[in-house]
Amino acid sequence: MENAIKARTTGGVSIGFLLDGLDERIDRQIAGDFRPAYQWKVIREMEHFVPFLEDEDYFIFATRPGGGKSSLLRAEFATSAVMGEPSVIINLENSESQYAVYVVSMFTGINSHKLKNASLLSEEELARARRIITDLKKAPFQILSMSAPSGAEVVRELSALSKAGFRNFGVDYVQLMRNGISNPVDDISTSSHALRGLAMKIHHPIIAIAQLSRAIEHRGDGNPVLSDLRGSGDLENDATHVGFIWDAWQNPTDAQIMAYPENKNYGRDGIVIAKPIQIHIAKARNDAIGTTQPFVWNKATNQFREMERR
């Protein structure tokens, strides 16, 4: 659809021109030469429901705190950048040093706790970390930290980065944007409208993280629904896609937990490092709704992997 986008004016574009673009896209897909606006790099299970994102999609990933949403966005965009796709995350929550640690941890498999204190690393781990650090310095991955920015400020920054050649845009997370509106529902609505409009303006998909309300904690299965998006129904209305990160475990036994090698010390310290999660696509314009097969999230290394099929 690149030609159609270039031909846009204040008067719009003819359906004939758009259909020419679709015709060209069909030929490219058949020839294997089609490049989606965004294709999943880490969470490949998504391909069964949302194979890829279109130019103007606005995708929201949501869960409660500690559910893996920031880890998921970091893993996707860091991998995309290593593959040569310029990627940027608007960081409204985490320290910048955390990004450095978790990205190195993800590509080395070294526990992030050890990377935070290099004296804990073995000589082999230290050498591996230094090799990855050298390689990752070349990756087109930008972290733009902002403190409670308005929707207009985020639009201005990401528009400039789009002109500079960036193509993957993430926001972590939308409820931390502030527009100076006293009504919190209206304030979040303004942020959501800004992100939706931005995707339409720059013709690149926006992937935003969102928090869920505590209502899910009082339900038996703990699985969220669209009305659980915290703060405003406009998050649901504006988004082209909404994906909830679900805990695939329901009251797991000790044996289930310790079946994962990363949890070998669970019996002693009670800490769960790896667990299976799923993504439930609750809203998808022109794509399928459903729940992915479980995949494993290693919280210590920020890694995601497919589960062994039995």
> Which residue type sits at 133?
I
Q: Are residues 20 and 122 located together in one domain of the fold? A: no
Of the listed ranges 8-22, 125-139, 156-170, 291-305, the one predicted with least confidence: 8-22
Q: How far apart are CA 232 and CA 246, in angstroms?
A: 21
- Please give the average per-residue pLDDT across 25-52, as a whole number: 82
- pLDDT mean over 242-260: 85
Residues 222 and 258 in one domain: yes
Position 243, amino acid:
G
Local confidence band at 8 (pLDDT 50, 70, 90 cut-offs): low
The residue among 109 and 33 whose pLDDT is bigger is 109
Q: Check whether residue 26 and residue 54 sit in a common domain.
A: no
Instruction: Tell me, letter by letter, the H, E, C secondary structure of the chain.
Output: CHHHHHCCCCCCCCHHHHHHHHHHHHHHHHHCCCCCCEECCCCHHHHHCCCEECCCCEEEEEECCCCCHHHHHHHHHHHHHHCCCCEEEEECCCCHHHHHHHHHHHHHCCCHHHHHCHHHCCHHHHHHHHHHHHHHCCCCEEEEECCCCCHHHHHHHHHHHHHCCCCEEEEECHHHCCCCCCCHHHHHHHHHHHHHHHHHHHCCCEEEEEEECHHHHHCCCCCCCHHHECCCCHHHHHCCEEEEEEECCCCCCHHHHHCCHHHCCHHHHCCCCEEEEEEEEEEECCCCCEECCCEEEECCCCEEEECCCC
pTM (predicted TM-score): 0.85
- The arithmetic mean of pLDDT across residues 55-76, rounded, is 88
Query: Has residue 188 been placed in a domain?
Result: yes
Within a domain: 295 = yes
Same domain, 248 and 106: yes
Question: 174 and 25 in one domain?
Answer: no
pLDDT exceeds cutoff 80 at 3: no
DSSP-assigned beta bridge partners for residue 296 = 276, 305
- pLDDT (mean) for 45-66: 87
In this predicted structure, the answer to whether residue 123 has a pLDDT above a threshold of 70 is yes
Averaged pLDDT for residues 8-14:
64
Host domain of residue 18 = 1-34
Residue 281, pLDDT above cutoff 80 = yes
Residues 28 and 66 in one domain: no
Q: Is residue 16 part of a domain?
A: yes
- Of residues 136 and 1, which shows the higher confidence score? 136
Work out the pLDDT band at 96, boundaries 50, 70, 90: confident
Rounded to whole angstroms, the Cα distance separating 294 from 279 reads 8
pLDDT higher than threshold 90 for residue 78: yes
Q: What gap in Å lies between CA 222 and CA 1, rounded to an integer? A: 41
In a domain, 41, yes or no: no
What pLDDT is stored for residue 1 in this prediction? 45
Residue type, 100: A
Reply yes or no on whether the pLDDT at 48 is more than 90. Answer: no
Residue 39 placed within a domain: no
On the question of pLDDT at 44 being above 50, the answer is yes
* The two structure tokens encoding residue 145: 């930290």
Q: Are residues 259 and 158 in the same domain?
A: yes
Q: Do both 188 and 64 map to the same domain? A: yes
Could you tell me if residue 40 is inside a domain? Answer: no
The predicted pLDDT at position 173 comes to: 85
pLDDT above 90: percentage of residues in the chain: 35
Are both 27 and 156 inside the same structural domain? Answer: no
- Number of structural domains found in the chain: 2
Enter the tokens of residue 207: 């992937």
Based on the fold, state whether residues 121 and 241 are members of the same structural domain. yes
Check pLDDT > 90 for residue 32.
Answer: no
Answer yes or no: do 53 and 133 share one domain.
yes
Residue 4 in this model has a pLDDT that exceeds 50: no
- The pLDDT of residue 94 is 82
Greater confidence (35 vs 70) lies with 70
Query: Residue 256 falls within a domain, yes or no?
Result: yes
pLDDT tens digits along 193-228: 999 999 999 999 999 999 887 777 666 666 787 877
| Whole-number average pLDDT of the chain | 85
Residue 13 pLDDT level (bands cut at 50, 70, 90): confident
For residue 170, count other CB atoms closer than 10 A to its CB.
27
Q: What is the pLDDT of residue 219?
A: 65
- The answer on 219 and 140 residing in a single domain is yes
Predicted confidence (pLDDT) at residue 98 exceeds the cutoff of 90: no
* Confidence label for 257 from pLDDT (cuts 50, 70 and 90): confident
pLDDT of residue 185: 87
In a domain, 30, yes or no: yes
CATH code for position 278 = 3.40.50.300
Q: What is the pLDDT of residue 236?
A: 82
Burial of 10 by CB count in 10 Å (0-12 exposed, 13-18 middle, 19+ buried)? Answer: exposed
